[in-house]
Structure 1
Amino acid sequence: MQLIQIDKARYRKHLNRVIIGCGLALAAGSLAISQTLIALFPDESGSHFHWNLLGVIVTSITIGWALNKYRGHDYMTEVVYVWELKQALNKITRKMAKLKAAGREGDPQALLAIHYSYAGSRLLWQLDDNTITMDELAIKQAELDSVAAQFNVTLNTDDYDDSILKQF
């Protein structure tokens, strides 16, 4: 997955609308389904927990289906890209201990994966205005650059492919 610069304002606007839309759909759908089921199948004890739960489950599945169906739509481009980037970074994070150990020994693939993780994290943090941890990331990046220079490894995020994680 290539790192690309995306329009922060467009991303935030679309993400906020998707989140609000999903929240409203969940509330409306859950209530509509559960109230319909309660009206059709009333419980003499007054407990309608199972109908309410079923309403939430059905509506959640429907929202998930709709998001998946429209993930290729132009409106969802930035939202889906960030979601996929977060998944890619999570894959790296789960292997980070092994990657760092191999990186200290000069493994170019490990160094590349770490570099991609740092660059991707920087991109995400800038989109989310999470600048508090940027100084810490800059220190880690400088350390990584030092190790890469020591082993004469050139790091370019465009060279990263998640298939290299299989060896760690």
Structure 2
Amino acid sequence: MSFLLESHDPDTYRRTSRRVALAMAGQLIVFGLVFTQLISSAFGSSFWLNALGVLLGLVATSLVVMALRDRPWMGPVRYGWQLKQALSRVSGYLPALRRGMEEGDERALAVLAFYHQGMAQLADLEGRTLDDDAELLAERQRVRLARQAQGLPERVDGAGDADLAAFKRG
């Protein structure tokens, strides 16, 4: 899967994410209560039947979210989910990518640049700062300097599985 970095307004992202999270929590509560009541009225009340009602509520909430995820108003939230997934995928390769960076591998430098740009964008979208992670900032600077030394542009547009295929998960 290939992922391209996009520009999103942090305020819109946070506002939409909050609304979606509250709506999902509300749906889970309502669906859980409805299913628990239906099961209790049909079969009696027990802990396991109540847990089944909550589980059915979770399944129903998940189905609703899956049905709505492609709506235009879900765009910022969907982008955030996909960005987190892409960064998580890259983080599994970080040791191999760091070795590649030390060897001067352009592909490793591109993926690491994407990773650091993505981390910075995610922090910006979520209203956090990366100032407290000295290791991450130092590595980001090393990647920037290594890319400059090789005459590569500072920014990359994205990364994909093909970029990671050359590296063993570490």
Q: Which residue of 2 aligns with 1:126?
A: 124
- The correspondence of residues 95-114 of structure 1 with structure 2, limited to 5 A, is 95-114=93-112
Alignment-derived partner of residue 94 in structure 1:
92
Q: How far did 1:133 drift? A: 3.2
- For the residues of structure 2 that align with 1:162 and 1:126, how far apart are their CA atoms? 25
1:137-148 alignment runs, 5 A limit: 137-148=136-147
Query: Which of 15, 18, 41 is 1:16 aligned to?
Result: 18
Letter of the 2:142 partner, please give it. Answer: E
* 1:103-154: CA deviation from partner (whole Å, max 9, x where unpaired): 1101111111110000000001011121153673443221112222344444
Evaluate the alpha carbon distance shift between residue 115 and residue 13 of structure 1 in structure 2; reply closer, same or farther with a 3 A threshold. same
Q: Paired residues, what number?
A: 164
Assess if the C-alpha contact under 8 Å between 1:2 and 1:157 holds in 2. no
- Cα displacement (A) at 1:3: 1.1
- Which segments of 5 or more consecutive residues in structure 2 lack a partner in the other structure? none
Compute the TM-score of the two structures, normalised by the length of structure 1: 0.89
1:165 matched residue in structure 2: 164
Aligned partners of 1:3 and 1:120 also within 8 Å: yes
The Cα of 1:18 is off from its aligned counterpart by 0.7
Unaligned runs of 5+ in 1: none
- Kept in 2, the 8 Å contact 1:122–1:134? The answer is no
CA distance in 2, matches of 1:30, 1:88: 32
Query: What's the counterpart of residue 5 of structure 1?
Result: 7
Coordinate RMSD, CA, aligned: 1.8
Correspondence for 1:64: 62
What CA deviation, in whole Å up to 9, does each residue of 1:53-99 have, x standing for no partner? Answer: 11121111121121111111011000000100100000000110111
Q: CA distance change for structure 1 residues 146 and 123 in 2, over 3 Å: closer, same or farther?
A: same
